[in-house]
């Protein structure tokens, strides 16, 4: 997926993507974080801008709270 760092991606976007990966991969919460961070940010917090990275962090927190048992 090609993403442009010119715009801020929303927490809702990241939450949907995180849930999709978690559902498809059936992996732990920590693994989901690593997979999404690697795929979208190439392990670089600044790749999509600080606002998008903060939205990703917010989405992951929401995901973690929703899926305490994963």
How far, in Å, CA of 56 to CA of 50, rounded? 10
Digit-coded pLDDT (tens) for 28-66: 889 999 999 999 999 999 999 899 999 999 999 999 998
How far, in Å, CA of 62 to CA of 5, rounded? 23
Is 19 within 8 Å of 35 (Cβ atoms)?
no
Q: Please state the domain extents for the chain.
A: 11-66
pLDDT of residue 24 exceeding 90: yes
Length of the chain: 70
Record the pTM. 0.86
């Amino acid at each position: 997926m090609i993403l442009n760092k010119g715009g801020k991606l929303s927490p809702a976007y990241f939450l949907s993507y995180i849930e999709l990966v978690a559902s498809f991969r059936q992996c732990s919460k920590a693994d989901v974080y690593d997979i999404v961070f690697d795929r979208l940010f190439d392990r670089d917090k600044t790749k999509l801008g600080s606002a998008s990275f903060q939205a990703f962090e917010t989405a992951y927190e929401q995901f973690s709270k929703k899926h305490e048992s994963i």
